């Protein structure tokens, strides 16, 4: 049997055995509900707190490893009933009047009624107001000298803005005083105003001279190393060194012993010559990736310049005429050489120029877009499907009939289909081809019939 509290009788039972006593009875009470030796009403055992306080004390006082006599001796430490909740007082010192600290606080609140508490609060507030009036009577703000009414006893300023202004003014006075007294440590001259407050030298030469004066050994060692390097360079200059591989001139005496080129410009030229192909490829990729950006920026800059100066276009045209008339032969030669080297790009420019002459709307159509179109159609005509090494840019909607010079209106076509289509729509062109094919077939049949009528043996029988 284990020790469990009995809710109805508040019992604590001891484990059975030959040396154990019977079940522990409840606390003895008189017939009137008053415990002997202490007056008071019967405790409310239905309250959970009362029951838990009493049973917890009983359980803590009982030890199952001790005989019944020891249990009874532990129970003999109970002093009586609590004056507030009327529960048993167990485990507290002798003469205790309450069963727990909670009952002590509750009894104190019951004795001090609400009216008494309100009176004490009013008296405390009155005393604090009198002390604040006496304290604030002789106090003034350190910033503006105003009244300190309503501020705490440790406050020095009447408001936060007054405190900030006072501290800013104090810092400015300190900075001005330090600025007036600051002198250079080496030359004893005044420090410039742009230096911060931690600066102690007026310039770098003063700082360097001060360091040299404080470290003479390091200065002597540095001078010795410098003289040794100068001697090594002078000995290297006396040797027969090869000339500069770029310009072919002899290397000057100021160049070091490991120098190969006579100057930095020759070094840059040699680097460019070694990596010429790489530089060209890099620039080409950069321009191809940003071609739309460059075109857009050029249009924007031109529009801004024309808006700022309307006569700028006339000035440019006059300059171009003068330059072309002066260097006409050289310009033609350069243009012909460029056209032979860039045939696809020339065709792109000529197609756009024809579209502009016909008054068609033009959009950005690059050489890369044209190459992608040819790869998409496998270098075959988009109409007849035949392979052609010389594809034309064919406009689905002709330019003369409102078509655009753009990627969505251009298809690769063989010369035969492009020349036969001319300025017709696709359906008109196909119907015309069907009509022409029928006419050709009729002409061939009539010719064959005439030949068979005049010379039957000349016409071969159909297989």
pLDDT digits (tens, 9 = 90+) for 56-65: 454 444 444 4
Q: For the chain, which residues make up each domain, given as ranges?
A: 1-111, 117-180, 182-214
Separation CA 19–CA 66 (nearest Å):
9
Instruction: Decide if 386 contacts 412 (C-beta within 8 A).
Output: no
Spans of the chain below 70 pLDDT? 1-79, 113-115, 133-138, 175, 178-180, 235-240, 455-463
């Amino acid at each position: 049997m284990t020790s469990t509290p009995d809710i109805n009788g508040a019992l604590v039972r001891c484990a059975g055995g030959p040396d154990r006593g019977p079940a522990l009875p409840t606390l003895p009470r008189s017939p009137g509900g008053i415990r002997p030796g202490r007056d008071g009403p019967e405790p409310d055992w239905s309250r959970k707190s009362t029951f838990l306080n009493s049973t917890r004390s009983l359980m803590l006082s009982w030890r199952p490893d001790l005989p019944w006599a020891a249990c009874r001796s532990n129970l003999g430490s109970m002093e009586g009933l609590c004056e507030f909740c009327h529960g048993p007082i167990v485990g507290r010192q002798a003469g205790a009047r309450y069963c727990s600290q909670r009952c002590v606080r509750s009894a104190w609140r019951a004795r001090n009624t609400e009216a008494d508490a309100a009176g004490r609060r009013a008296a405390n507030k009155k005393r604090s107001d009198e002390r604040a009036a006496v304290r604030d009577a002789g106090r003034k703000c350190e910033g503006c000298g105003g009244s300190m009414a309503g501020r705490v006893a440790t406050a020095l300023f009447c408001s936060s803005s007054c405190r900030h202004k006072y501290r800013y003014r104090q810092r400015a006075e300190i900075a001005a005083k330090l600025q007036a007294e600051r002198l250079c440590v080496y030359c004893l001259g005044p420090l410039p105003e742009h230096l911060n407050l931690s600066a102690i030298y007026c310039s770098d030469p003063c700082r360097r001279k001060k360091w040299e004066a404080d470290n003479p050994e390091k200065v002597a060692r540095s001078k010795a190393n410098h003289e040794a390097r100068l001697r090594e360079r002078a000995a290297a200059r006396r040797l027969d060194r090869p000339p500069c591989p770029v310009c072919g001139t002899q290397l000057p005496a100021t160049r070091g012993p490991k120098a190969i080129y006579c100057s930095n410009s020759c070094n840059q030229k040699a680097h460019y010559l070694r990596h010429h192909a790489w530089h060209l490829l890099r620039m080409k990729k950069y321009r191809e990736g940003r071609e739309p950006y460059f075109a857009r920026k050029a249009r924007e800059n031109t529009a801004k310049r024309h808006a700022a100066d309307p006569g700028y276009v006339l000035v440019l045209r006059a300059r171009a005429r003068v330059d072309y008339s002066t260097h006409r032969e050289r310009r033609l030669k350069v243009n012909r050489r460029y056209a032979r080297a860039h045939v696809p790009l020339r065709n792109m420019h000529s197609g756009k120029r024809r579209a502009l002459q016909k008054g068609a709307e033009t959009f950005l159509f690059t050489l890369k877009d044209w190459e992608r179109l040819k790869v998409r159609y496998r270098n075959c005509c988009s109409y007849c499907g035949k392979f052609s090494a010389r594809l034309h840019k064919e406009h689905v909607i002709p330019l003369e009939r409102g078509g655009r010079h753009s990627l969505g209106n251009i298809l690769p076509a063989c010369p035969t289909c492009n020349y036969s289509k001319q300025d017709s729509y696709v359906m008109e062109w196909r119907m015309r081809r069907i009509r022409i094919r029928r006419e050709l077939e009729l002409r061939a049949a009539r010719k064959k019939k005439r030949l068979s009528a005049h010379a039957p043996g000349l016409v071969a029988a159909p297989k």
